[in-house]
């Protein structure tokens, strides 16, 4: 029997994010889980970006190519193990393995002279860029497996805010202490964060079972208690069989292309403005800190309400509109302050609204699509967008930051109709108007 007593926390969450009393524990564990995960990544993200400048801004496209190749290799390996190990046991091992790699990189950088670590910096950059997409993809697959489409509208914005709190804490730690403790120590802190994340997966698995009972007909079916089966390349097959998933892939391609164009612009400006690795790390950390401080307020107080009020389609359309205006500003004034501000605005719009909206798209698909096709989209497709945009940006870079901005305007204009069509497709699938091979036939929509 479910207790009718409502705690002060439950009343607060009901007011802030429309969390029902029976959802409180699962939502709060998800919140802390995402916080720990994003903290673990964002502690070393500024280090990764600084390592990119160590390798050379003029050679960033090589790092993007390496990341795409590694992602293409990692995706079927991940699918292979997910097919053979129960997901509730497998997911903690994913985070534990990443923690071990952070300790290994710490040892490598401690034993190599700073002027001789260019290749290690490249490997570190590629690995961090690969696993960050994998871990975030796994998290949102877990969320889409835990909460139904109806629940996701109310809860994903608040849960995303947990990650944003982590993205504030990570860069803040780096910005404040990197010069005192050095970049290498941040890798050990990251490893500890991933270990905590692995432990929280087990806690959330238990809460998921309770949530299914309490939610009744609204509850989401789960695959955490079984293996997914299939072969390591099943994710690619599922993706290419579904028009709906292919539309999501197109949306991701456009989004990553835009983010890479801005990344090249910002990398060039920061490498010219700062000489040392620590100073560049601090600059990237301050940009992340500004972005995430703004984002968390919107996620906690407004994201759920905005999506409920205007719908997922509006959430998907926000970023293309903002980026057209942002690139116009770069054309007018291509300086570091403007580029830094645009990076903040882009990430704020993506993390606060577009990201939760995009993850809701997977609440209406089956488990194989959530854990296999989504993994392919979030790693291989994402990094394919990165690598093609990286080489395009490298070709345009001789024409300066303004040339990149013009390319960004064109890509954003193409992105807009893709976002609109995808949003309408989701609504049709959710409402049963349209059918698709990826539709979840076991969970209520």
pLDDT tens track for 331-350: 776 666 677 777 777 777 77
Structural contact between residues 316 and 423, judged by C-beta atoms closer than 8 angstroms: yes
In a domain, 86, yes or no: yes
Q: How far apart are CA 354 and CA 332, in angstroms?
A: 26
pLDDT tens track for 357-367: 777 888 777 77
- What are the residues facing 439 on neighbouring strands? 365
Instruction: Give kind and range of the element (H or E) at residue 382.
Output: helix 382-396
In a domain, 239, yes or no: yes
Q: Of 37 and 217, which is predicted with more confidence?
A: 37
Place of tokens 């877990």: 142
In a domain, 438, yes or no: no
What pLDDT was estimated at residue 63? 84
- Total domains in the chain come to 1
CATH number at residue 349: 1.20.1250.20
In a domain, 335, yes or no: yes
In a domain, 37, yes or no: yes
Q: Of 276 and 115, which is predicted with more confidence?
A: 276
What pLDDT was estimated at residue 443? 39
In a domain, 112, yes or no: yes
Structural contact between residues 405 and 330, judged by C-beta atoms closer than 8 angstroms: yes
Q: How far apart are CA 340 and CA 318, in angstroms?
A: 19
What pLDDT was estimated at residue 87? 67
Provide the domain limits for residue 145: 19-215+233-430
- For the segment 248-257, the average pLDDT, to the nearest whole number, is 86
In a domain, 445, yes or no: no
In a domain, 223, yes or no: no
């Amino acid at each position: 029997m479910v207790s009718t007593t409502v705690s002060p926390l439950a009343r607060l969450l009901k007011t802030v994010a429309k969390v029902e009393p029976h959802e409180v524990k699962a939502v709060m564990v998800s919140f802390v889980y995402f916080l720990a995960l994003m903290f673990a990544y964002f502690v070393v993200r500024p280090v990764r970006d600084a390592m990119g400048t160590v390798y050379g801004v003029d050679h960033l496209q090589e790092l993007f190519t390496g990341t795409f190749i590694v992602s293409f290799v990692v995706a079927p390996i991940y699918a292979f193990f997910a097919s053979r190990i129960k997901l509730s046991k497998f997911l903690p091992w994913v985070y534990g393995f990443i923690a071990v790699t952070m300790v290994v990189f710490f040892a490598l950088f401690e034993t190599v002279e700073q002027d001789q670590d260019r290749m290690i910096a490249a490997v570190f950059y590629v690995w961090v860029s690969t696993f960050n997409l994998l871990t975030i993809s796994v998290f949102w697959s877990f969320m889409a497996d835990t909460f139904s489409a109806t629940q996701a509208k109310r809860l994903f914005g608040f849960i995303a805010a947990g990650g944003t709190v982590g993205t504030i804490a990570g860069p803040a730690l780096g910005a404040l202490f990197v010069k005192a403790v050095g970049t290498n120590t941040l890798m050990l802190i990251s490893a500890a964060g991933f270990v905590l994340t692995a432990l929280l997966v087990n806690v959330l698995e238990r809460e998921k079972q309770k949530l299914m009972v309490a939610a009744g007909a609204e509850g989401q079916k789960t695959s955490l208690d079984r293996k997914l089966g299939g072969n390591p390349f099943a994710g690619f097959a599922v993706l290419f069989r579904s028009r709906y998933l292919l539309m999501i892939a197109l949306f991701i391609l456009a989004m990553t292309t835009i983010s890479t164009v801005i990344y090249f612009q910002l990398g060039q400006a920061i490498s010219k403005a700062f000489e040392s690795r620590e100073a560049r790390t601090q600059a990237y950390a301050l940009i992340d800190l500004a972005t995430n401080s703004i984002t968390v307020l919107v996620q906690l107080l407004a994201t759920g309400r905005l999506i409920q009020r205007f719908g997922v389609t509006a959430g998907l359309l926000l970023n293309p509109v903002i980026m057209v205006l942002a690139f116009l500003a770069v054309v007018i004034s291509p300086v570091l302050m403007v580029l830094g501000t645009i990076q903040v605005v882009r990430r704020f719009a993506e993390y606060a609204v577009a990201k939760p909206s995009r993850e809701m798209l997977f609440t209406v698909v089956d488990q194989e699509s959530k854990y296999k096709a989504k993994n392919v989209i979030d790693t291989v497709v994402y990094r394919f967008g990165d690598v093609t945009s990286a080489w395009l940006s490298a070709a345009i870079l001789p024409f300066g930051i303004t040339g990149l901005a013009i390319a960004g305007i064109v890509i954003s204009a193409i992105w807009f109709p893709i976002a609109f069509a995808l949003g309408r497709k989701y609504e049709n699938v959710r409402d049963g108007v349209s059918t698709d091979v990826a539709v979840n036939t076991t969970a209520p929509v």
